Structure 1
Amino acid sequence: MGAGWVGLLIAVVGVAGTLGAALLTQNRADRTKRMELRAAAEQRREERDHALELLRVERADERQRESLERRRACYISLNTAARQYLTAMTSHLHALRRGEDSDASLENLEAARLSFRDCYAEAQMIAPDAVSRASGAAKSRLNAAYGTLREYGAAPADHAEELAGLEGEFHREVWPYVGEMKRAMRADLGVDD
């Protein structure tokens, strides 16, 4: 082989090396760009997933706050209605015992009873089991006391002795259940005693 062929071979190897280096560099650049794009896409996906998770948590917190507020309003109404119901029974009892015209007190009693019934119906839909049990027990005692009062109130002269002891019975038999209902509602709301 002559010097011309050696020079040509060196020139061919040099050109092939230069072209090969350019192709190798381009290949590496393409691979690096693909890796960067993949990493950027992965980061965007992670950010999107994180944003969705934050949104889900915020919505859950909002639902929990709304539920708490709805229960709080319901519990305030139910507690107030139960106390007014019992107070109206006591007022009607006093009117019967004094021999006064009891129509006005009976009308107030009926309004209080209906108000309690409506509040209790709402509580049945949103209150947890512990509050439902306590409010159900209070409702049973209130309605039993109401039935007794209506029975004795139909003929107050015939039941004067029973009417005299009925207020004490309200305090022994009904108020503790109304108090237990209030404690269950406060516990559900997270109110410490």
Structure 2
Amino acid sequence: MATLLVALVGVMGTLLAPLTTAWVSSRVRLQEFDLQQRASAAARQEESAAADLERRRAAYIALNGSARQWRILLMEDVNALRAGGNAAEHTEQARQTFQADFAQAQMLVPDYVLDAANRVRIALADARKRLDRQAASSNSEGESTWQDLHGYVLDIWDVITDMQAAMRKDLGVGSGLPVPSERSEAYRASS
């Protein structure tokens, strides 16, 4: 009876060995497939994050450049009109470029960056309105008004540096604090 039992266990082991091997092999393949799927998903997520960062970086470069350009041209217009000349025709193109860059940024950037960019948009648009009003008026107190307008356009730089700081923070290259310009007191104090 014992030999029959040993023989039966041996036959059962022989018959079950291929099934057990197939089952273990199947489990290993399933685990490998799962690991590959996870690695692939992680790689896709990393690629997507890198592409998103690059899209935001390109939008920030365009928005920063067009804001600076519009401000520079507004300043040139203030100086030209103040001296009795004409406004540059490129100012309207700079405004349109900035508006297009702002519209693109609205769809890509986080809220705190969009808020900073919106403050720049409002300041530049307000400067343009003030410039148009001043150019159209025949105000007798003209020089002080021109100086006020000049100071207003000059001060827009602070709003632009706030926007730059928000952009740099989002890109992971800054603290979120504006980098002082050569016009600021903080810059002169550190020199």
TM-score (norm 1): 0.83
Question: 73-82 vs 141-150, which deviates more?
Answer: 141-150
Q: Is the 8 A contact 2:67 2:98 kept in 1?
A: yes
User: Aligned partners of 1:85 and 1:185: how far apart in 2?
Assistant: 18
- The alignment partner of 1:182 has SS state of helix
Instruction: Name the counterpart of 1:130.
Output: 112
| One-letter identity of the residue aligned with 2:61 | I
TM-aligned CA deviation for residue 33 of structure 1 = 2.2
Which structure has the larger Rg over C-alpha atoms? 1
2:97 maps to which residue?
Answer: 115
Aligned to 2:181: none
Q: Secondary structure at the match of 2:107?
A: helix
Q: Determine which structure has greater relative contact order: mean sequence separation of CA pairs < 8 Å that are 6+ residues apart, divided by chain length.
A: 1
Q: Which residue of 2 aligns with 1:167?
A: 150
Q: Which has the higher helix share?
A: 1
TM-superposed CA distance for 1:23, in Å, is 4.5
CA contact (8 A) 1:156 1:163 kept: no
Partners of 1:183 and 1:156 in 2: CA distance: 40
| Counterpart check, 1:188 vs 2:180 | no
Q: Which amino acid aligns with 2:133?
A: E
Cα distance in structure 2, aligned partners of 1:30 and 1:64? 52
Alpha-carbon deviation of 1:64? 0.2
Matched, 1:87 2:72: yes
* Aligned-pair CA distance for 1:22: 4.9
Contact 2:75 2:154 in 1 (8 A): no
Give CA-to-partner distance per residue, 1:136-173, whole Å, 9 cap, x none.
1111111111111111122366534311321112223x
**Runs of 5+ in structure 2 lacking a partner?**
176-191
Could you say what secondary structure the match of 1:91 adopts?
helix
Percent of residue pairs bearing the same amino acid type: 30
Residues 77, 86 of structure 2: 8 Å contact kept = no
**Cα gap change, 1:192 to 1:180, in 2 (>3 Å):** same
The two structures, once aligned, show a CA RMSD in angstroms of 2.0
Kindly indicate whether the alpha-carbon contact (under 8 Å) linking 2:73 and 2:90 is maintained by their aligned counterparts in 1.
Answer: yes
Q: Which runs of 4+ in 1 moved over 3 A?
A: 20-24, 155-160
Structure 1 alignment gaps of length 5 or more = 1-12
Number of residues of Structure 1 aligned to a counterpart in Structure 2: 174
